[in-house]
Structures are given as structure tokens and as C-alpha cells.
Amino acid sequence: MESDPSSRKQAVIIGYFVAAGIGMLALQWLLATYNTIETIPYSEFERLVAQGGVTEVSVAQDTIQGKLKDKLPSGKSAFITARVDPGLAEKLESKGVVVTGVPSGGLFQTILSWIIPALMFYLIWIFLGRRLADRQGFGGLMSIGKSRAKVYVEKDTKVTFADVAGVDEAKFELQEVVSFLRDPKSYGRLGAHVPKGILLVGPPGTGKTLLARAVAGEAGVAFFSISGSEFVEMFVGVGAARVRDLFDQARKAAPCIIFIDELDALGRSRSAGAFGGYDEKEQTLNQLLAELDGFDPSAGVILLAATNRPEILDPALLRAGRFDRQVLVDRPDKSGRIAILKVHVRKIRVGKDVDLEKVAALTPGFTGADLANLINEAAIAATRRNADDVSLDDFTVAIERIVAGIEKKSRVLGKDERRRVAYHEMGHALVAANLSGVDPVQKVSIIPRGVGALGYTLQRPTEDRFLLSVRQLKNRIAVLMGGRASERLIFDGDVSTGAADDLQRATEIAIEMVTKYGMDEKVGQRTYASRPQMFLQAAQDTVVSAAELTGREIDLAVRDLVEAGDACARAILEKHRRDLDEGVGILIAKETLTAEEFAPLRPAPAQQTASP
């Protein structure tokens, strides 16, 4: 099998040129033959016969073609005329003319009149049919059982482990695959063999596909890449045929790597549904399981797959002997984010004031794709202001754009609304500045952003957190309730709808504390929430499996946590009322205020706790 797509394309182009040359030669021969024959009237033909000027003729059913003794005035000696008189043969014989009968419709005439038009209609039908099939998603009946895997060779991949950062553990695991593909005999000298299948699991955007391509680039082998959704179509059995064809191609191109992206589209757990064993997806999965059992890893075929939903995969797919190893590609920590930023800043012109460690500290929870998007947004921001390089301020603007949304300076707020929004946001900021276990405040703004935010308070974490205590979660609830507490304090209990999102987030934290983490003594240390999805940030089912009396206790516990946070926020704001009024005055005048510009927003040495 030819694994180089450029050579195949070159062969097709050469074939097109050869066919075009043959066609031009045939057309030239037809024109040359046609130019040596002159059409004459039948009366002229009879006159020439009567004068003895015709040497030989070929009589067809409708025409007469022949040669003359002398050339016509046009210089041609061959002629053709339409046959009119049925008794012509006798007259020709009486004059001594040689008459030759021609059967009706020669081979060349048959080709021109029947085969070529039929071939033209067939080609047009194939062309239009395939275009229609591609638009409808059928893919063409002629290639319905063929794999659509895209083949990347090492010179096309051009991705190595140097281009992948922030996932050192995953790279170490995959280094074994590279070593086996480079030297399988030496690697298996003790009887070990590389795992048949390696499953890359992790949140979206963490670099699973990039890692798979880096393995192929490091090993210098062919790389078959296909999505799990491309196996399944409307025709039953197509997916199984494509799985067989993909593995057949891989065996011929060994050593190579097969990479199946979004494996959950193909390997979802089987259940007794309406279609039972005749479901197309189930047949495709069964064929994949059979291929995994049948191929020998010593042949140099390695199967890599990626998914962000491992919890829904079929257990038979994950057992030993199929996907032997699972490699976690998680969100990078601070050091990983610094490494990823160093890889991506090579493509832009960075200013001297840019400290990648500060940028990494501002982006907790960002994936590799998020960081690449951040650098691009920062470069766009620098280009927009006609700068010579990208500065740290451009990175800050890009982070705010990604986290809070686009600034909407065209949305003009009234004087009373601006004052209310300013007190709301300053309430968040002051509560955060006076509580421990929360991220320090970086900036407060009353410029509308995103869909419905009339202002925002941006907090910057100082370090990555992997565990949260009860105190830290209660303090976060208090910070979220700071905006509503400030409105209630300043406007004599006349609160607004601006705290809707704050109440939602505070309630979600309280529900998780009670139903997921067992942090309420009255409800007890038991989990009442459904199991969340592992990597996707989807809304979880808030319905808890508890008795009616326990459900009421959960509701009361959630309410108490939110009310305790509100009480803590009000106490802090009453104590710092002067700072609240002063900060609001500056915020209204400048629209944006940082912790460096307003000292009370800086974390205090001794901070309080939002304990009830």
C-alpha cells in the first residue's frame, strides 16, 4: 500500500495527462481523415460515373464513399455522397465500376453513436450522485465500506514531544511506545510487549490529540487518525466494515499508529435498547473488540484513543488485553502552565515586561488550548493598539476578555444604577480582602461585560488549590454574598436583581457541601448527590435520593450556609463602611480600580473567617 499521499497524487496527475494526450491524438486523426474526403451531390456522382471518372466505391446502407481518377477542383480525390437510387448497383456494373458493399454501422461508428454517449451519461451520473451523497452524509456507495482514516506520515506530522508541555507524566508513559516502535526487538528482549491499546483520558483541550501525533512524530511512523463518529452511518454493517478496513490498512503499513479520537462516540456502553444486538453502533463496537483481540502488538501496530467521557465506555473495551493502559492528561498546574506558555510565546513578539510566571498565576484551571487562545488574544490586543510587542497589560486584557467577556462600553447606565453597581462590586471586593482562604482581589470594574454582567470583581489566586476546607468554602459563599449585603446595607434593604448569579453560585457551593462532601453535622456524612461526570463541566442533577424528612434537613442546611455567609459579609461591611464609601467614590470616577490603587483591597495580615 502506498502510504505517501503526495506520490499517489502525482500518479493521478500523470494518468490525467496521458489520457488527455490519447484523446487529442484520436481527435487529430478524425479531423485529418475528415479533411481528405469531400461531400458531393448525388447528381454529380452520377455524372462522374457516366463519364468513367470513378475508380472504386464502398456502398453503405445510406451513403456511398469512393475514389476518383482525377481530383476534384478542391484537390481531393476521395468523395462521399448520400445513396438515393436503389438500382444503383446495376448502373455501376454496366460501366465497369468496382462496387464494394459495406455493412451497416461500423465499429467506429457504433462507438461514437452508442458507447460514448452512454459513458458520458454514466460519468455525469456518478459525479452528481457522489456530490449529492457527500452532502447528505452517505459518503458514496462505492466507498461505503472503506475507512476514512487520514494518514499522516512523519514528514507531515512534524510534531514531537518538544511541542507538548505541561503533561510530563503522560509523555513519560508514551515514551515506551516510541521506544518499542523504534526498536521492537531490543525493547522485548525480556519478553515484555507494548500494550495493545492506550487510552488518553482528560478534559477537553488538554492536548490528547497533540500527544498522539507527537508519538507518531517521535517514532517516525505512519499515523492513522480517525474520529469515532466516522465509523457509524445509516447503513447497518458499514461501521464494522470500516473497522476491518482500517486495521487491514494499518497491518500493511506497520509499524504505525492508529488514533481514534472521541472514542465515546463508538465505544459507548452497550445496553438492552430498542434495537438490541442489531444496533449499528453495537455491531461496530463488537467488530472493534474482535480486532483488538485479533491483532498482535509485536507486528508494530499501536492503537491510541482519546476521550473525555471514560465513565460511559463499555467495560469490555477497557479490560486488560484491549485498552491495557489509561493515561490521564489533566489540566496543568502552575509549572505546567508556565511550560505551555513558553511553547506558545515562540510564535509572538513578547515584551520585556512579560513575566510568564505571573501570567500562569492568573490562569488557574486553564487547559493547553485555553492558554493558546489566551496568547492569541493578547497578540490581537497588542495589534489593536499598534504596539511593537505584546506586553503584560495585553495578557491581563486577554484574561479579562476570556473570563468576564467583552467590554460593552456602549451600554450606558444611569447615575443611580452606576452607584448601585459600584456598591455591589465593592462589597464583593472588601469582603474578599478581609477573609482568609479566598483569592486576593486584582481589579474591580463597573464596565458592563459579557451577556448580563454590569460589573465584575476579578480575583487572582496566589497558588493552585487541589483541596478546599469547610472554612474556605464558607468564605467563598460570604464573598459571593458580599454584593447583596452591600446593597442591603446602603439602600436600607432595597435589594436589586443584580445578585441573581451570585445567589446561584453560592447555592451550588452550599448544596455540594451538604450533599456531596458531607460537611453538615445535622445532615451527616453521607453522599446524597448523583455521581458527577468525570471531566465535562456539565450541570449535575440536583435531585437527591433521600427521604422526605432528610430532604427538608438538606434544604435547611443549604439555607443556613447561605444565610451565614450573608451575615458574615454584612458584619465585615459594617465594620469597613468608611472604606466602602471611599472605594465606591473612586470606582465611579475611574470605572476600574485595582488593589494597588486602593489599599483596603489588599489582603489584611489578620483575616476573619465566615463561621456562623
Q: Are strands 78-82 and 150-152 parallel, antiparallel or unpaired?
A: unpaired
**Which three cell numbers, joined as nine digits, stand for 322?**
484491549
pLDDT over 80 (residue 480): yes
The three cell numbers locating residue 545: 435520593
- Strands 197-201 and 150-152, bridge-based pairing: unpaired
Of the ranges 94-103, 322-331, 603-612, the best mean pLDDT one? 322-331
Do strands 54-59 and 98-101 pair parallel, antiparallel, or not at all (unpaired)?
parallel
Task: Tell me the pLDDT tens digit for each residue of 12-53.
Answer: 667 666 776 676 777 666 655 555 677 777 767 777 877 788
Neighbouring CB atoms inside 10 A of 62's CB total: 10
Q: Are 224 and 256 in contact (CB under 8 A)?
A: yes
For residue 135, pLDDT over 60 is answered with no
The predicted model gives 506-534 an average pLDDT of 84
Q: What is the pLDDT of residue 1?
A: 41
- Look at residue 85 in the predicted model and tell me its pLDDT: 63
> Which of these, 199, 171, 175, 172, lies nearest to 187 by C-alpha position?
175
Low-confidence winner among 222-236, 396-410, 558-572 (lowest mean pLDDT): 222-236
Q: What is the pLDDT of residue 141?
A: 46
- Grouping H, G, I as helix, E, B as strand and the rest as coil, residue 26 is helix
For the chain, what percent of residues have pLDDT higher than 70? Answer: 74
Q: Is the model's pLDDT at 426 over the cut of 60?
A: yes
Q: What is the dihedral of CA 176, 182, 185, 188, to 10 degrees?
A: 0
Average pLDDT over residues 552-562: 93
Contacts of 542 (CB under 8 A, 6+ apart): 511, 529
8 Å CB contact between 287 and 338: no
Q: CA 448, 492, 506, 470: dihedral to nearest 10 degrees?
A: 130
Least reliable range by pLDDT among 195-204, 263-272, 412-421, 548-557 = 263-272
Strands (DSSP E) along 172-242, which ranges? Answer: 197-201, 222-227
Kindly indicate the confidence band of residue 373, based on its pLDDT and cuts at 50, 70 and 90. very high
Buried b (16+ CB within 10 A) or exposed e, 100-133: eeeeeeeeeeeeeeeeeeeeeeeeeeeeeebeeb
- Residue 95's φ and ψ, nearest 5 degrees, are -100, 0
Diameter over CA atoms, the chain: 136
Interatomic CA distance for residues 490 and 572, integer angstroms = 14
Please list, in sequence order, all residues whose beta carbon lies within 8 angstroms of the beta carbon of residue 357, skipping any fewer than 6 positions away: 334, 338
d(CA 307, CA 345): 28
Contact 608, 572 (CB under 8 A): yes
Residue 470: predicted pLDDT = 92
pLDDT category, 196, cuts 50, 70, 90? confident
Share of the chain above pLDDT 90, in %: 16
- The letter for the amino acid at 414 is G
Mean pLDDT across the chain: 78
Top-ranked range on mean pLDDT: pick from 138-142, 360-364, 474-478? 474-478
Q: Is the pLDDT of residue 507 over 90?
A: yes
Query: pTM for the whole thing?
Result: 0.68
What is the grid cell recorded at 245? Answer: 478496513
pLDDT of residue 567: 94
Least confident of 119-128, 300-309, 488-497: 119-128
Does pLDDT of 150 surpass 50?
A: yes
Higher pLDDT, 195 or 517: 517
> What is the CB neighbour count within 10 angstroms for residue 572?
25
Which residue type, as a one-letter code, is found at position 189?
R
C-alpha count within 13 angstroms, C-beta hemisphere, residue 551: 7
Residue 161 has pLDDT above 90, yes or no: no
Higher pLDDT, 319 or 576: 576
Which of the pair, 353 or 9, is modelled with greater confidence? Answer: 353
Interval 512-529 mean pLDDT? 87
The residue ranking higher by pLDDT, 339 or 97, is: 339
* pLDDT number for residue 599: 85
* Start-to-end Cα distance in the chain: 72
Pick from 3-12, 192-201, 440-449, 450-459: least confident: 3-12
Beta strands 222-227 and 256-261: pairing type? parallel
Residue 110 is predicted with a pLDDT of 56
**pLDDT digits 0-9 by tens, 261-277:** 888 888 888 765 444 44
Amino acid (one-letter) located at 501:
D
Q: Please indicate whether residue 44 is annotated as part of the active site.
A: no
Q: Which residue of the set 425, 521, 582, 591 is catalytic?
A: 425
Give the whole-angstrom CA distance, residue 511 versus residue 529: 9
Check if the beta carbon of residue 307 is closer than 8 Å to that of residue 199.
yes
Long-range contacts (CB closer than 8 Å, 24 or more residues apart) made by 562-566: 562/477, 562/481, 562/503, 562/506, 562/507, 562/510, 564/474, 564/477, 564/478, 564/610, 564/611, 564/612, 565/474, 565/477, 565/478, 565/480, 565/481, 565/506, 565/610, 566/478, 566/481, 566/484, 566/485
Contact between 485 and 427 (Cβ < 8 Å): yes
Average pLDDT over residues 115-142: 62
Check pLDDT > 90 for residue 482: yes
Q: Which of 268-277, 431-440, 481-490, 599-608 has the highest mean pLDDT?
A: 481-490
Q: Is the pLDDT of residue 286 over 90?
A: no
Range name among 30-39, 160-169, 489-498 with the lowest pLDDT average: 30-39
**What average pLDDT score do residues 247-268 get?**
83
* pLDDT grade for 100, boundaries at 50, 70 and 90: low
